[in-house]
Amino acid sequence: MALSLLLLWTTALQLRNLDPYATNKLKSSRFSLFYGLTYLVFASTTTMTFTSFLCQTYGDDSTERLIADRSIDCNSDFYKNFEYLSYLMILVSIGITALYFYQLWKHREAIKNASKRDSDQSIQHINFLWRDYRPEMWWYEIYECFKRLNFTGMLVFFDPGSASQLCFSIILALISSLMYAYNQPFEKPEENTLAQTSTVSIFLTLLAGIMIKMKSALVEANETEFGFVLILVNTLI
């Protein structure tokens, strides 16, 4: 994020002595790079940020410690300051999504123009947000951002491998699969097929996890055979 801000600052300095054509060209290239950088850090930043809220006690020690780093006392001043920074990073993640939505909404008519959008220079700086989707699905990347926030962020609040975490993941996978099936967002049919089969694969894997948790569901099944079938399903999909 600091690199992105530095990029904007250097761009502002360079714009002072440029003619209008060069100014527009520089703006387009630099903003394209800026949005690309925010896209790269979005998911990883979200994951690291949410894990910073997870604390628990270990053994007979009543001190709550950060799960990601047990050397950190969750009641210490250091952690409190770190926690404030985490809240700030959550706002940054939400802000990035809001920024994407603003840009897509602002240019939605140009993006929906299928015959001209690939050559329209006014929207090329955000083409990574719309180029894979059908014109009427100009908004779909916003849904993908919220999906990443849920899959990478919200799941950390459940105990790892717990039934509640698996159930929540199944709900997310089911919603994702239905969204792909109903909207068919991608321009290429094979990409829609791949997206749907991928979410079905995730759904089946999570469902298998629930079944493993429920020992009674596996009374008549051989767990080794069940594992083999699960691997086979994911391989075929």
| Residue 142 lies inside a defined structural domain of this protein | no
**Into how many domains does the chain fold?**
2
Lateral strand order in the sheet of 61-66: 55-58, 61-66, 69-73
The residues near 217 (Cβ < 8 Å, ≥ 6 apart) are 211
| Residue 31 lies inside a defined structural domain of this protein | yes
Mean pLDDT over all residues of the chain?
77
Same domain, 128 and 39: yes
Same domain, 223 and 163: yes
| Residue 11 lies inside a defined structural domain of this protein | yes
Same domain, 213 and 126: no
Same domain, 23 and 119: yes
Q: pLDDT value at position 191? A: 93
Same domain, 186 and 126: no
CA distances in angstroms from 235 to 176, 202, 216, 227, listed in the order given: 20, 12, 27, 12
Residues of the chain with pLDDT under 70: 1-33, 35-36, 43-44, 47, 160-161, 214-237
Same domain, 166 and 119: no
DSSP codes, 119-168: T-GGGGGGGGGTTTB-GGGTTHHHHHHHHHHHHHTGGGGSPTT-HHHHHH
Q: Token digits for 236?
A: 């075929």
| Residue 114 lies inside a defined structural domain of this protein | yes
Cα dihedral: 209, 212, 217, 222 (round 10): 120
Question: Which residues does residue 61 pair with via DSSP β-bridges, in sequence order?
Answer: 58
Q: Token digits for 115?
A: 């015959």
Q: Which residue from 46, 28, 27 is spatially nearest to 38, judged by alpha carbons?
A: 46
Same domain, 127 and 14: yes
Q: For 107-158, how does the pLDDT look when each residue is reduced to its tens digit (9 = 90+)?
A: 999 999 988 998 888 888 888 889 899 999 999 999 998 888 887 777 777 7
Q: Which domain holds residue 15?
A: 1-132
Q: pLDDT value at position 108? A: 93
| Residue 143 lies inside a defined structural domain of this protein | no
